[in-house]
Chains A and B, each alone.
Chain A
Amino acid sequence: MTKDLSQPVLKVRDLTVEFATEDGVIRAVDSVSFDVQPNETLGLVGESGCGKTVTGLAMLRLIPMPPGRIASGSIELDGRDLVPLPDRDLEDLRGRALSMIFQEPMTALNPVFTIGNQMTDVLCRHRDLTRRQARPVAAELLAKVGIPEPANRLDDYPHQLSGGMRQRVMIAMALSCNPRLLIADEPTTALDVTTQAQVLEQFRALQAEFRMAVILVTHDLGVVAETCQRALVMYCGSIVESGATAELFSRPRHPYTAGLLASIPRLRSERLPELPVIPGRVPDLLNLPAGCRFADRCPRVQERCRAERPVLTGRDSGVACHYPL
């Protein structure tokens, strides 16, 4: 695969993911479009249930089907659409061109196989290696993600490692075939703050070394500020704002982004009487309002917001709001 730096690695267009539930069809991701540039880290931000994890899973077609399905849209990796791809061809890409790491380091690894066994599985699947040849490669990868005594760790089972160590193993596995794009779904959420910082630091260094694009799915705006060049803010299955992280954080335009930023607790000299919160609740995905989905919670809501749904003004930098800040 050629690494053309002028073209986006990933082009997602009008991606819609639906889940059939007993009460009706839920649209978890609603015509989402975005690009990921080579070597870029793109943050996918939003609160629980906004569709960010489903979007991440959809990139590898890992949504459980049924009940889920990709209803429409395209996901182009280096110009090749993954949505209509036969399963066999997709399996070849998973773990090789496209890798994913998950939120739950405790359960994401298979408990009854050793770390080395699971790593060599991936190496032998995608690289032309025998199991014997794959072992030192696996040890090397473990060393790269900062695991001490990597050769000995290969014979350990997942339950013998800490959460942080397991997440490092996952990262090592994800990097083992030099992916073009890595999707990291809340990679540090389950870790304590110190480990989180170490893993993120390692992660940044590795990204520079492996020269890959990353989609970082997270609800943690602090992590986004530290690691992402660009970010997409999702609400109720759609992107409400996109832009360069610095821009987005200093001058949010969508009232939802502004609300999220205001509700981060921080140390400051003046004392706030209370932490600001966004009032109200996320609307029921089965009964979405006709207009803007944030209308009921928005401090700037007007007549037009309830009637007409705003569209995102630009793909790389834009806002879906009739009356942006």
Chain B
Amino acid sequence: MEILQYALRKLLAGLPLILGVTLVSFALMVYFGPDMTYQLLGKNPTPEQILEVRQQLGYDQPFLQRYLVFLGEIVTFDFGVASTGEPVATLLAKTIPVSLILILPGFILGHVVGLLLALAAAYWRGSWPDKLIMAVAVIGMSVSFLIVIIGFQIVLSSSDGLDLFPVRGWNASSLGNYLSYVTVPTLATMFVALGYDTRFYRSVIVEEMTRDHVRTSRAFGLPESRILLRNILKNCLIPFITRVMFSIPQVAIGGALLIESYFGIPGIGKATYEAIVTGDQPVLKAVVSLTAILFVLVVVLNDILYRVVDPRVTLK
């Protein structure tokens, strides 16, 4: 119950943040974004035509008024019509699920496998399993994402390699199809994420291993494996949760954008990329505001999870 109140309070505290982020991004779009007027008009428009289009687009309204209209769009989830003629809400409903099922396996596997490798490296720290895992992690970090994608495509999807999976495209009509299309993007994201995540997890665990309470547990005869998997791991949860939570917006935007455009997958990342290139303002506004809201939700959820795992965090 106390937790619920705390969550509500945190959510309310997140509201001004949402307002601030949307205000800034809206200002950027208005003053630096593309002007749609001339795209909608033909060659040599008359001043009256220009005026008319600007009126239709709402450009003649004062800034504050336009911002309020924008906020109204966010609340009602009605972002108008994209330049393709499709309502933005429909576009989002179509593309977001694709991105979710595309990104989720790599995201979860990346963190889980990264944590397992880090535990192994920390348990055998200083000896060969540790050195091997860390060497592979450095390779994962050093190779560019694009090279990794191309490498996996050549090895797994081309006739020069194993030719097991389609090179690009998307089909999630059945589980078999889904797996064949999702495997290569998942492996590519995992490969890159593993490098960073394993190193991060290992360093947090190894740091925690030097704490006094670990020595106390040893002095009382608790077995090393139990100390690592219970006493140490629970103390690492705050940095771990922060890491996982804050990689959500990053993966949802950056990862999806790159992977989807490379593999030709019709997700939100690809739609965003196209909207940026064509200056499709309704889509951009929707993506920007939803990202801001996602970020605030992540921060709030992060704070709540802190309280769940660490008794020292107060609810006040």
What 1/0 mask marks residues of chain B from 198 to 225 whose CB sits below 8 Å from any chain A CB? 0000000000000111011111111110
Give B268 Cβ to nearest chain A Cβ, in Å: 38
Residue in B213, B218, B310 whose beta carbon sits within 8 Å of that of A109 in the complex = B213
CB pair B220 A94 closer than 8 Å? yes
Q: Is A323 an interface residue (CB 8 A)?
A: no
Q: Is A263 an interface residue (CB 8 A)?
A: no
Question: What residues on B are CB-neighbors of A203 within 8 Å?
Answer: none
Q: Is A159 an interface residue (CB 8 A)?
A: yes
Give the number of chain A interface residues (Cβ < 8 Å).
29
CB pair A126 B221 closer than 8 Å? yes
Give A254 Cβ to nearest chain B Cβ, in Å: 32
Q: Which residue of B lies closest to A106 (CB)?
A: B212
Report how far A112 CA is from B309 CA in the complex, Å: 8
Q: Is B234 an interface residue (CB 8 A)?
A: yes
Report how far A153 CA is from B246 CA in the complex, Å: 36
Q: Is A20 an interface residue (CB 8 A)?
A: no
- Could you list 15 A-B pairs, sorted by A, with CB under 8 Å? A60-B219, A62-B215, A62-B219, A87-B224, A91-B221, A91-B223, A94-B221, A95-B220, A95-B222, A107-B211, A108-B215, A110-B213, A110-B231, A112-B237, A157-B312
CB pair A104 B212 closer than 8 Å? yes
Q: Is A92 an interface residue (CB 8 A)?
A: yes
Report how far A92 CA is from B211 CA in the complex, Å: 22
Residue in B217, B220, B224, B310 whose beta carbon sits within 8 Å of that of A99 in the complex = B220
Give B205 Cβ to nearest chain A Cβ, in Å: 15
Give A187 Cβ to nearest chain B Cβ, in Å: 13
Q: Which residue of B lies closest to A95 (CB)?
A: B220
CB pair B235 A110 closer than 8 Å? yes
Report how far A173 CA is from B234 CA in the complex, Å: 21
Interface of A with B (CB < 8 Å)? Answer: 60, 62, 66, 87, 91-96, 99-100, 102, 104, 107-113, 121-122, 125-126, 157, 159, 170, 173
Interface core residue of B215, B220, B309 (most chain A CB under 10 Å):
B220
CB pair B216 A111 closer than 8 Å? no
CB pair B215 A121 closer than 8 Å? no
Report how far A122 CA is from B126 CA in the complex, Å: 29
Question: What residues on A are CB-neighbors of B309 within 8 Å?
Answer: 112
Instruction: Classify chain B's interface size.
Output: 20 to 34
Question: What residues on B are CB-neighbors of A66 within 8 Å?
Answer: 126
CB pair B213 A92 closer than 8 Å? no
Question: What residues on A are CB-neighbors of B219 within 8 Å?
Answer: 60, 62, 94-95, 99-100, 102
CB pair A159 B218 closer than 8 Å? no
Report how far A125 CA is from B221 CA in the complex, Å: 8
Question: What residues on A are CB-neighbors of B310 within 8 Å?
Answer: 111-112
Query: Knowing A108-B216, A112-B235 touch, does A95 contact B311 (C-beta < 8 A)?
Result: no
Known: A110-B216, A121-B220, A157-B312. 14 other contacts (CB 8 A): A62-B215, A91-B222, A91-B223, A95-B221, A99-B219, A100-B219, A107-B211, A110-B234, A112-B234, A112-B237, A112-B311, A121-B217, A121-B222, A173-B220
Q: Which residue of A lies closest to B209 (CB)?
A: A64
Interface of B with A (CB < 8 Å)? Answer: 126, 211-213, 215-224, 231, 234-235, 237, 309-312
Residue in A60, A93, A110, A112 whose beta carbon sits within 8 Å of that of B217 in the complex = A110
Interface core residue of A109, A110, A173 (most chain B CB under 10 Å):
A110
CB pair B213 A107 closer than 8 Å? yes
Report how far A173 CA is from B237 CA in the complex, Å: 26
CB pair B213 A96 closer than 8 Å? no
Question: What residues on B are CB-neighbors of A126 within 8 Å?
Answer: 221
Q: Which residue of A lies closest to B237 (CB)?
A: A112
CB pair B221 A108 closer than 8 Å? no
Query: Knowing A60-B219, A62-B219 touch, does A108 contact B311 (C-beta < 8 A)?
Result: no
CB pair B213 A159 closer than 8 Å? no
Question: What residues on A are CB-neighbors of B235 within 8 Å?
Answer: 110-112
Report how far A94 CA is from B216 CA in the complex, Å: 10
Q: Which residue of B lies closest to A176 (CB)?
A: B220
Give B217 Cβ to nearest chain A Cβ, in Å: 7
Give A69 Cβ to nearest chain B Cβ, in Å: 14
Give A184 Cβ to nearest chain B Cβ, in Å: 12
CB pair A113 B212 closer than 8 Å? no
CB pair A108 B312 closer than 8 Å? no
CB pair A93 B221 closer than 8 Å? yes
Question: What residues on A are CB-neighbors of B211 within 8 Å?
Answer: 107
Report how far A110 CA is from B222 CA in the complex, Å: 13
Question: What residues on A are CB-neighbors of B216 within 8 Å?
Answer: 102, 108-110, 170
Report how far A66 CA is from B126 CA in the complex, Å: 9
Report how far A108 CA is from B220 CA in the complex, Å: 12
CB pair B221 A96 closer than 8 Å? yes
Question: What residues on B are CB-neighbors of A91 within 8 Å?
Answer: 221-223
Interface core residue of A93, A94, A126, A170 (most chain B CB under 10 Å):
A94
CB pair A107 B234 closer than 8 Å? no
